[in-house]
Amino acid sequence: MPKATDLVVPADPAKAAIAPPFQSLELAPNPADALVSASRLMQASARRLMVPADPVAVDLYTLDDRCEGYQTEAIQVPRQQSMENTVDLILAEQRIPELTLSGYRTSFDPETKTVTIDLRVARNSRRVLNSLSMCEQKALLGSLRETLINQPNWKIEAVVFTNRGNPLVL
C-alpha cells in the first residue's frame, strides 16, 4: 500500500487530472488547528494590552529573529499565579509549524527551586517535541527557561521539561 507521501502515477493519462479519493487528506492541514493557533495568539496579544487589577512586572525573554540570543520585554501579569500566567503567555505565542500542544502542567519544588513543565502534544499534531530544530527548541524551551530563571522574586534555579510525564530528551 503506498504512503500518502508517495507519488502516484496513473497508468491511464486520461485519469491523471482526477486525484484518487483521499490521496491528499493526510497531507492537508487541519483548518481547526489553524483556528486554535490564531485564537491563542490573539488571546496572548490581548493579555499584553490589558493591565490586570493587581499587576506584577515580568521580563519576558523571547528569541531574536536570528536565533542567536534572547531579547527582553517587560509585561504585566496578574500577581496571583504570575508564573503560570507567564508560561501560558509564552506557550500561546509560539508558532512552530505543525506542532500542536493540547496543554501543559507546571509544578514547583521549593526545596530544589525547580519548575517542571510537562508539555502535552496533541494526538493529531503532525510533529513531536523530539523533531524540533535547535532554533525551535531555543524559541520554545529556552524562552520558558530564561523567563522563569531570570525573575528574582520567583527564586527559580532550574527548569525541567517533560513530555506527558517522561523526561524530555532532545
Which residues 6+ apart lie within 8 Å of 123 measured at CB?
102
The three three-digit cell numbers of residue 154, written as one number: 520567583
> Over the chain (170 residues), what is each successive 10-residue block's mean pLDDT?
49 48 46 58 58 86 93 92 92 88 94 96 92 94 97 96 90
- For 78-115, letters b (16+ CB in 10 Å) and e give beeebbebbbbbbbbbbebeebbbeebebebeeeeeeb
Q: What is the pLDDT of residue 50?
A: 67
Q: What is the pLDDT of residue 165?
A: 92
Q: What is the pLDDT of residue 16?
A: 46
CA distance linking residue 159 with residue 116, whole number of Å: 6
Each domain of the chain, given as residue ranges in start order, spans 21-167
Residue 93's pLDDT is 86
pTM, rounded to two decimals: 0.71
**In whole angstroms, how far apart are CA 25 and each of 1, 4, 166?**
16, 8, 32
